[in-house]
Amino acid sequence: MSAPHLFARLSLALLLGGSLSAQDGAAEAERYAYVRMVTSLGDLVLELDQEQAPITSENFLAYVNEGFYDGTIFHRVISEFMAQGGGYLPGIEVKPPTRSPIRNESDNGLSNEAGTLAMARTGNPHSATSQFFINLVSNPNLDHPGGENWGYAVFGKVIDGFDTVLAIKQARVELDPRADRTQPASPLTPIVIQSATQVGPETCRAAISEARRVEATPPLDEDFQDEVRAAAADQSDEVAALLTVLGHDPEAITYSGTGLGSIVVREGSGGQPTRADTVTAHYTGWLLNGKPFDSSRARGEAMDFPLNRVIPAWTEGVSEMKVGERRILIAPPNLAYGPRGASGVIPPNSTLIFDVELLAFEKAKDYSDMNAGKALLVEKGVAISSGQTTASGLFYVDEVVGDGQLPLRTDRVTTHYAGFLTDGTQFDSSIERGTPATFPVSGVIAGWTEALLSMPVGTTRWVVIPWNLAYGAAGRAPMIPPKAALVFEMRLLEIK
């Protein structure tokens, strides 16, 4: 069975059937390449777009055909974001790439939609090598923004094995700074890529046919709406019954590509927030048995919250509303609290119904100002008059200059550190945890790599890193806002 909510448009094709003509098959062989990836959670069939992403597809296939991915892991899984792999072995041991970095092809017109493949990279836009990721939800914020900025290059998609992707998405994870320093992302049980093999289109004809039919289906036509409803049939009767009790017509539901359902109860006439903004809203939430589990209206107090720090259904649904609008949101489990539920209040795998009224919103704070980062250093007693700015824009001040050796890009180092937003908010600290972090010099954000390469062992350095050398235009939810300059205290303890 496919994963209907996670890949609503992809799984639509599974309900249609049919096959490709011989002429179509010849075109497929010329434009696309195919890879069968066997993982410890099941198989995937990947389709690479050699026409729109020729450099990236060639690079990925080279790694496949040399057997590089065999035995590597998906080391970083964030259920409402993406699953990243191709650069580590079990135990989160780095597997160094064997090929040079490639040019970023994020300007190729392909979007980071759910189920697509894209290349992972550092803050340097042209630094991708072997690591890739599968978008577990649609991430348009990772697309090429235009101009001199860069996104994350999409080069293909999953066309079969959606159950496997769902299993990866639902994997239990823990905090391990080698995988992600800001949130739990390291699978408790390693997800191993047992093999990756290039295959001919004749071996996956049915999946190719289904993919083409999905592409030919307009995302908002009535057939699509019907099929998404069918894909959610396991709870649709309960959804319809509760909506009827609440006075809403189930036939009025429209579904987005992620599977989020909505009914506009009252149009709004005010502004529309972005996913980075903080909104003020009244809401009531129900389980499908009709039991309300939370209500700002019952408390008599509207709630304020950043849209990028709530469940995905709210991030998506409320960001499409205008001030004054009232909307019903039907949140499938993967856009709500998933297989774990929440705090004994939300059972596992629950579809939730929300009645949301958007009252106001506040634009997201600008965290990109490097001068604000320098001001924070002054507040912390750092003498910035002795600081230096590098050609990339990174600013640093050495409080202690060590007398050890300089690390190389290929080294692994042990450090203590504390990280701050420019407003002083601390988002991570190995110093407070009392446990130093060890990682490859080339395996961190570009600003860290640059700073480390000029730090002798024993150095304590304060840095203000421009957003484009940190987590970029996307940020790293929930802790790092988009386009955030970051401030770090860095202590280089040892070269491994």
Catalytic residues: 283, 293-294, 311, 337, 354
- Residue 325 and residue 348: Cα distance in Å, rounded? 30
**DSSP 8-state symbol, 221:** S
CA angle 104, 143, 156 (to 5 degrees): 70
CA proximity to 62, closest of 85, 35, 89, 44: 35
Beta bridge partners of 18: none
User: What b-and-e string marks burial along 416-432, b requiring 16 or more CB atoms within 10 Å of the CB?
Assistant: bbbbbbbeeeebbbbee
Name the CA radius of gyration of the chain, rounded: 24
CA proximity to 292, closest of 300, 283, 301: 283
In Å, what is the CA distance from 168 to each residue of 52, 139, 163, 188, 369?
A: 27, 17, 9, 12, 37
- Residue 101 and residue 103: Cα distance in Å, rounded? 7
The answer to whether 172 touches 78, Cβ cutoff 8 Å, is: no
Return the structure tokens found at 322: 């205008």
**DSSP 8-state symbol, 180:** B
- Residue 71 and residue 190: Cα distance in Å, rounded? 11
> What is the SS3 assignment for 100?
coil
Beta bridge partners of 326: 266, 357
Expressed in angstroms, the distance from the first to the final Cα of the chain is 47
If you write DSSP's letter for every residue of 297-327 in order, what string do you get? HHHT--EEEEGGGS-HHHHHHHHT--TT-EE
Return the structure tokens found at 41: 């959670």
CA proximity to 415, closest of 450, 388, 440: 440
What angle, rounded to 10 degrees, do the helices at 233-245 and 222-231 form? 100
